[in-house]
Structure 1
């Protein structure tokens, strides 16, 4: 088994398992000092810079990225947990499949072929594992908020350009300081919100929120005292 794990074709999978163990140890040490790695990892997620002159193709790419991240349950489950699930599933699946192939054919698949195949196979596992974690993770009733409780707060467009009937992704903080990601479009026809625009949430129709541009410089989604 050790020779299989150290084979050059399987080094990527073995490294993934080692990284998973290192993350677990580092997170445990950080927890002892009242810190954590999840927030740091979430801050590293890319946010594209869009302008009113951004090409339609770029906006569609941002929307596709947003949907893909949502499909992976990023934003619903701590990203550190999803990373651990990915590394574990990627490493184990790679070694198991390579071991099975070796027992049948006596050889291993080259890394350039095995890695992308196992990577794609691991993504549904991340989604499934994230769904399980989301269902079993303890929920603090004191910090639970309803969808309508976000009305009247300031959201910031994070991905895409919001137009009437064409919502974009926005981030809003609740009264406890937790961030929520939602779909947002202008309340008035002709308005357009690009990335970085602050929007006052006015109403909600199903899963889509409507709002107007924030005209009050004293209001911001960064204001921890706003309730």
Structure 2
């Protein structure tokens, strides 16, 4: 058993599981001291930066990356929880597949081949796990808000560049102070909103909000 866990082919998967256990222990210690690693980590993480370009290819890449993050439910579930789910799925899938290969063929796949394959297999499991966490996480029904209630509030572009027909990710706080991540496009086809821009949400078309540049600094102060 230990020989399989510590073999060079499985070392990455074993490290992933040990790291997951370490995070769990550290989070437990943090809770005992009245704090949380999740809150601490997310408060110091920088915003994801994408260098804006005018080329269509770069716009497609920004939009694809934003959709990929949304597919993984980043923003809906705390990042530390996503990391734990990924490490758990990555480690268990890797060890399970390698054990099956060892039982059937008497040898295991080399790490350079197994790691990327298991990484890709772990992504759907990560999405499934994050979706389950999102549904079971405690929610205060009294602070639930509708999508239209965010209209008239200030949002900050956090990921990508918003142009005509190309939505970018933005964060906005509701009336209870809770943060939401939404997709934003300019209401004026000639406008371009780059990362860090403050915009006023005007209307909503499906899952995309139409916005204009925030011209009132006092609105910005009430939203942060």
Check whether TM > 0.5: yes
After TM superposition, the score normalised by the length of structure 2 is 0.91
Q: CA deviation at 1:221?
A: 6.7
Pairs within 5 Å for 1:45-64: 46-51=47-52, 53-64=53-64
CA distance, structure 2, for counterparts of residue 135 and residue 179 of structure 1? 17
Partner of 2:24: 24
Distance 2:128 2:87 in 1: 14
Residue equivalent to 1:112 = 112
The verdict on how the C-alpha distance between 1:4 and 1:123 changes in structure 2, with shifts beyond 3 A counting, is same
- Check if 1:9 corresponds to 2:9: yes
- Kindly indicate whether the alpha-carbon contact (under 8 Å) linking 1:101 and 1:109 is maintained by their aligned counterparts in 2: yes
Summarize the Cα distance change of 1:221–1:146 in structure 2 as closer, same or farther, 3 Å threshold: farther
Task: Quote the residue 1:124 is aligned against.
Answer: 124
Match of 2:33 in 1: 33
CA contact (8 A) 1:172 1:221 kept: no
- Report the alpha carbon displacement of residue 15 of structure 1 after superposing the two structures with TM: 0.4
Q: Equivalents in 2 of 1:18, 1:222: separation in Å?
A: 44
3-state SS of the aligned residue for 2:203?
strand
Q: Matches of 2:5 and 2:128 in 1, distance apart?
A: 26
Q: 1:49 to 1:99 in 2, by over 3 A?
A: closer
1:178-205 residue CA offsets vs partner (Å, 9 max, x unmatched):
2211111222232222222111111212
Deviation at 1:126, TM superposition (A): 0.5
Count of paired positions: 223
TM-superposed CA distance for 1:133, in Å, is 1.4
Aligned counterpart, 1:76: 76
Whole-angstrom distance in 2 between the partners of 1:170 and 1:103: 49
Aligned-residue CA RMSD in angstroms? 1.9
Q: Tell me the TM-score normalized by structure 1.
A: 0.90
Gaps of 5+ in 1: none
Offset from partner CA, 1:94-124 (integer Å, 9 cap, x none): 1111111111111121111111111111111
Deviation at 1:54, TM superposition (A): 4.3
Q: Within 1, Cα distance between the matches of 2:202 and 2:59?
A: 25
Deviation at 1:85, TM superposition (A): 1.1
What displacement does 1:40 show? 4.2
Residues 193-208 of structure 1 mapped to structure 2, 5 A cutoff: 193-208=193-208
- CA distance in 1 between counterparts of 2:202 and 2:178 reads 20
Q: Which residue of 1 aligns with 2:45?
A: 44
What is the match of residue 158 of structure 2?
Answer: 158
Contact 1:20 1:87 in 2 (8 A): yes
Distance 1:153 1:221, change over 3 A: farther
